[in-house]
Amino acid sequence: MSDHEYTPKSKVGKWFNDRLPLLTLANHLTDYPTPKNLNYWWTFGGILTFCLITQIVTGLVLAMHYIAHADMAFQSVEHIMRDVNYGWLIRYIHANGASMFFLAVYIHIFRSLFYGSYKSPREVIWIIGIIIYLLMMAAAFLGYVLPWGQMSFWGATVITNLFSAIPLVGEGIVTWLWGGYSVDNPTLTRFFTLHYLIPFLILGLVVLHIWALHVPGNNNPVGIDIKKPSKDTVPFHPYIVIKDGFALLMFMIVFAFFVFYTPNILGHADNYIEANPLVTPAHIVPEWYLLPFYAILRSVPDKLLGVIAMLSAILILAALPWLDTSKIRSAVFRPLYKQFYWILVADVLILGYVGAMPAEGLYLLIARIATAYYFLHFLVVLPVLGFKERTTPVPLSITEPILGGSPNLAAVKKKDSFKDQ
């Protein structure tokens, strides 16, 4: 893990470090050689850590006041909003924090897709990331159920019913998940328990994610392997810390804007109506961050196949390191991939849009085309592109624009532009 042996200067420090090498770890983290050309898209790892900690801290506070009971949950949330000191602030941070978390994670994922950060030797980092993403979705869904509003209740009903698509045992599984014959108090209490548990699982996986990152080191916008430490790297502290800090503050301004000025805009009005098992809201829409997958689910006319399509859309990402056959990591040197990348971004945004629309007519048609393209991108475009694409020359180091292959002067001149990507 560490690149060089470290000995604390003080006697006490050495005594302690010999028994538990925390100081060696701290030293590794501060000195960790990081590519100097990382751009702002790389700051989202730090931002995500901030999001996770914020959610855990505000969540712990909310749990002190929330009552996980079908008769009291809605009321206890109103109690938090009205009577608890700063309760409204803490709840709005937590609720909007979930959206901010997903916003950051989507940028983080798409950054990885653009610069090929999932490729060898970083496959394990990537797969741990996918697991974190899945757990995030689970935590977000479970958390959304807790206020026990109409969307909570019907969201829980619809999502748990997805399991009924499983042949033979489906119905049994759904009843087991509910602890009854419908979503009710037993469901709420277990959802609360799991919602409390999952963030700590995520935290553990984040540690593994960073550990796995520190073995090969960061990828970088040029996507080449670099020597560490070298002229191409800077120590994590203070260079990357301050840069991450700056980006985090910009992020926090956006976050604060939502919390203080439009705290309910990302939520759904129906969730301020207490759960009523007799009336379904006219429009059931998941939170915005789940909409693309919701669109995929609805675009398939068969119940079981729809669920399979939705799950595959996420799980296919885990196979990405092997589906992408290109030896070049960064899209900067892959002119064709770059175009397909932006088509994919647009495709996912379109899926998100139609996910919010009623599943009929033109919307349904668009959803089907977009779903088909989504899978096409991963299953056909990526593997083929790796063989067919003519990539542009890649420099040998970040600082010195020595090009491998051809003496392409145009690429040297473009050095500044890719640094800025």
Per CB under 8 A, residues contacting another protein are: 36-37, 39-41, 57, 61, 64-65, 75, 78-79, 81-90, 92, 103, 107, 234, 238-239, 242-243, 245-247, 249-250, 252-254, 256-257, 259-261, 263-266, 269-270, 272-274, 282, 288, 349, 352-353, 356-357, 420
Select 106 or 375, whichever has its Cβ closest to another protein: 106
Nearest distance in Å: CB 257, another protein:
7
Please give the full DSSP string across 105-135, using - where no structure is assigned: HHHHHHHHHHHTTTSTT-HHHHHHHHHHHHH
Q: Which of 52, 34, 172, 159 is nearest to 105 (CA)?
A: 52
Which residue's CB is nearer to another protein, number 17 or number 268? 268
Other CB atoms within 10 Å distance of the CB of residue 382: 19
Nearer to another protein, 141 or 255 (CB): 255
**Shorter beta-carbon distance to another protein: residue 92 or 178:** 92
CB of 157 to another protein, least distance (A): 19
Residue 250 or 384 with smaller CB distance to another protein: 250
Cβ atoms within 10 Å, residue 346:
12
CA-nearest of 421, 389, 418, 420 to 401 is 418
For residue 71, the minimal CB distance to another protein (Å) is 12
**CA–CA dist 255, 101 (Å, integer):** 10
Give whichever of 175 and 421 is closer to another protein, judged by the CB atom.
421
Among residues 173 and 345, whose Cβ is nearest to another protein?
Answer: 345
Give the C-alpha distances (Å, rounded to integers) separating 100 from 39, 73, 89, 93. Answer: 20, 24, 15, 10
Rounded to a whole number of angstroms, the minimum distance from the CB of residue 343 to another protein is: 16
Find the length of the chain: 421
Contacts of 88 (CB under 8 A, 6+ apart): 80, 81, 82
Shortest CB 184 distance to another protein, Å: 17
CB of 96 to another protein, least distance (A): 12
Integer-rounded Cα Rg, in Å, for the chain is 24
* HSE (side-chain half, CA atoms, 13 Å) at 54: 23
Tokens coding 416? 């500044």
Going by the DSSP 8-state scheme, the letter that residue 239 receives in this structure is I
Under DSSP, the state recorded for 166 is: S
Smallest separation, CB 6 to another protein (Å): 22
Element (H, E) at 33: strand 33-35
**Closer by beta carbon to another protein, 8 or else 355:** 355
CB of 36 to another protein, least distance (A): 5
- When the beta carbons of 211 and 260 are compared against another protein, the nearer one is 260
Min dist CB 269 to another protein, Å, is: 5
Alpha-carbon gap, residue 161 to 305, rounded angstroms: 14
* Per-residue tokens: 357: 């629309």
Residue 234: in which H helix or E strand, if any? Answer: strand 233-235
Nearest-CA neighbor of 209 among 143, 278, 118? 118
Residues ≥6 apart with Cβ < 8 Å to 34: 217, 218, 233, 234, 235, 236, 239, 240
Judge whether 96 and 259 are in contact, CB under 8 Å.
Answer: yes
CA torsion angle 384 385 387 392 (round to 10): 180
Query: What span, in angstroms and rounded, lies between the C-alpha atoms of 332 and 419?
Result: 10
Which amino acid makes up residue 104?
A
Which is nearer to another protein, 111 or 195 (by Cβ)?
Answer: 111
User: Given the complex with another protein, which of 90 and 198 has the nearer CB atom?
Assistant: 90
The least distance separating another protein from the CB of residue 16, rounded to whole angstroms, comes to 27
In the complex, what is the shortest distance from the CB of residue 150 to another protein, in angstroms, rounded to a whole number?
9
